[in-house]
Amino acid sequence: MGIRGQVERRTFLKAAGVTVASLGATAVGCGGGTGGSGGGGGEVTIRYAWWGADDRAKKINQAIALFEKKYPKIKVKTDFQPYADFWKKFNTQAAGGNPPDVIQNAVTFLRKYAARNVLLDLNPQVKEGNLSTQGFRAGLEKFAEIDGKLLGVPVGSNSMGYIIDEKLYEKAGVTPEFGWTWNDWVAGLGKIKEKTGVAGDAGPSGIMYYYDLVLRQRGKAFFTDKGLGFEESDLVTEWTEAMKRTRSGLYANPKRVEQLKPKSATAGGISAGEFTWDNFSVRYAAEGKSSYGIAPIPTIDGRKTGQYLGSLMLSGTRRTKHPKEVATFINFMVHDPEVGRIMGYDRGVLATQKQFDAFEPTDKVSKQIAAYETKIAQSGVLEPITPHPAGSDVVETAFMRLATELSLGKASPGEAAQKFFAEAKTALSTSD
């Protein structure tokens, strides 16, 4: 979960899914352990790698300059790549026994790398006082704990939201409010179509995280910690209804949606809304010509949204020779207020309360994101996130691909669901 668009994410997932298998044999039984730095009291250099672009690199380098000023005996060598290239390079480095000491990480890969013993358990560093797990915003305290191991520390948060074209909603007389139901939402899509001639939604059938919310509202989930948390029949029902709404015009024409990519359907003016991560909303103002807002997630009962906070995180790797310095660096990056002011919401809403309070957004989009996450936290709808099982990245790629085939008429709901479950079973069983 980052701030890149769905097309970049799809490319990244495909790339990572086919290269990570080589990690297991080299990572097991290796690493710097959990003790001191091994630096002998002299200067230590740690390597930090992340994905992103030049703007993020500029901010991170500013933050590192502050860190090195405070800790002059710890130098940080940096490396950044675009989303897909980052994981290609990291997989190669890890398989070769030379991964960076610290990486930017995401929940999609947490359990996979945990199973391959690639990541450093940070709990010993917490006990030794080199890393604090206090002061995180609600919903993030235990974000990266797996089987008693602390494998990452959040740097920012995001949650699923519903991005709307505010002008189209106003013209149609539809006002989304916290507690609105799926019936309210569908009725609103119909009004929008009738009053504006624009499809109410871009078509959510290929968005795994949208469907996860729907399932969680029903007491299920897309993933458990070991596999899928729903049945093939559930997906057939969901995709059958999606095709009906597409044919009726409530959802946008899938061919036009594909043609617009990488621009989103809502920013492109062919739909009035779409489900995505709240911090992705920055792209709409840049891509579109209307004004955009973040609407609440519809519900079944007016209360349970199924939402949780996702997050980018910082993880150490087990092969590091400097676990103490790794923990010291991570601690600084997630707790120091000045770092919060520098980074802003580049990687999501700041994870610790101290950094959140230090950064005062001035632009409309950042203010909307902060207000939205504050509201869902205060309303008590946030639930714990389930770390995805190993192989979940491959599963998500299959889900998106088959949903696209479905929407373009290349497969029926039953055929697409059957293929998905077959591919998911293979991906999850071969990633153990």
Residue 395's DSSP bridge partners are: none
Average pLDDT, stretch 27-46?
Answer: 56
Q: Are residues 336 and 288 in the same domain?
A: no
The amino acid at 166: E
- d(CA 233, CA 416) in angstroms, rounded, equals 12
Q: Are residues 264 and 403 in the same domain?
A: yes
Instruction: Say if residue 79's pLDDT is above 50.
Output: yes
Asked whether residue 4 is assigned to any structural domain, the reply reads no
Q: How many domains does the chain have?
A: 2
Structure tokens at 139: 């919903």
> In which band, very low, low, confident or very high, does the pLDDT at 3 lie, cut at 50, 70 and 90?
very low
In 62-101, DSSP assigns E strands to: 74-81
Terminal alpha carbon distance of the chain: 22
Asked whether residue 10 is assigned to any structural domain, the reply reads no
Per-residue confidence (pLDDT) for residue 12, from 0 to 100: 35
Per-residue confidence (pLDDT) for residue 7, from 0 to 100: 37
> In which band, very low, low, confident or very high, does the pLDDT at 393 lie, cut at 50, 70 and 90?
confident
Predicted TM-score (pTM) of the model is 0.77
Residue 51's DSSP bridge partners are: 81
- d(CA 358, CA 352) in angstroms, rounded, equals 10
Q: Are residues 346 and 258 in the same domain?
A: no
Q: Are strands 74-81 and 44-51 parallel, antiparallel or unpaired?
A: parallel
> In which band, very low, low, confident or very high, does the pLDDT at 29 lie, cut at 50, 70 and 90?
very low
Mean pLDDT (the chain) is: 88
Report the range out of 16-25, 154-163, 231-240 with the highest average pLDDT: 231-240
Q: Are residues 393 and 268 in the same domain?
A: yes
- d(CA 393, CA 221) in angstroms, rounded, equals 16
Q: Are residues 282 and 353 in the same domain?
A: no
The amino acid at 131: L
Q: Are residues 303 and 319 in the same domain?
A: no
- d(CA 275, CA 130) in angstroms, rounded, equals 39
Task: Find, among 88, 61, 54, 89, the residue nearest to 75 by Cα.
Answer: 61
DSSP code at position 253: P
CATH code for position 320: 3.40.190.10
In order of 8, 370, 431, the CA distances from 21 in angstroms are 21, 38, 8
Share of the chain above pLDDT 90, in %: 67
DSSP code at position 32: -
Q: Which residues have CB under 8 Å from 194's CB, separation 6+?
A: 172
In 129-241, DSSP assigns E strands to: 145-146, 149-150, 153-158, 160-165
Q: Are residues 339 and 295 in the same domain?
A: no
Which tens digits make up the pLDDT trace of 281-295?
888 888 899 999 999
H helices of 96-147, in order, are 107-115, 123-127
Instruction: Say if residue 392's pLDDT is above 70.
Output: yes
Q: Are residues 174 and 138 in the same domain?
A: no
Domain membership of residue 128 as a residue range:
30-156+315-377
Per-residue confidence (pLDDT) for residue 9, from 0 to 100: 41
Contact 270, 199 (CB under 8 A): yes
Asked whether residue 18 is assigned to any structural domain, the reply reads no
Q: Are residues 142 and 170 in the same domain?
A: no
Q: Are residues 152 and 195 in the same domain?
A: no
Q: Which residues have CB under 8 Å from 157's CB, separation 6+?
A: 137, 139, 140, 309, 310, 311, 348, 349, 350, 351, 373
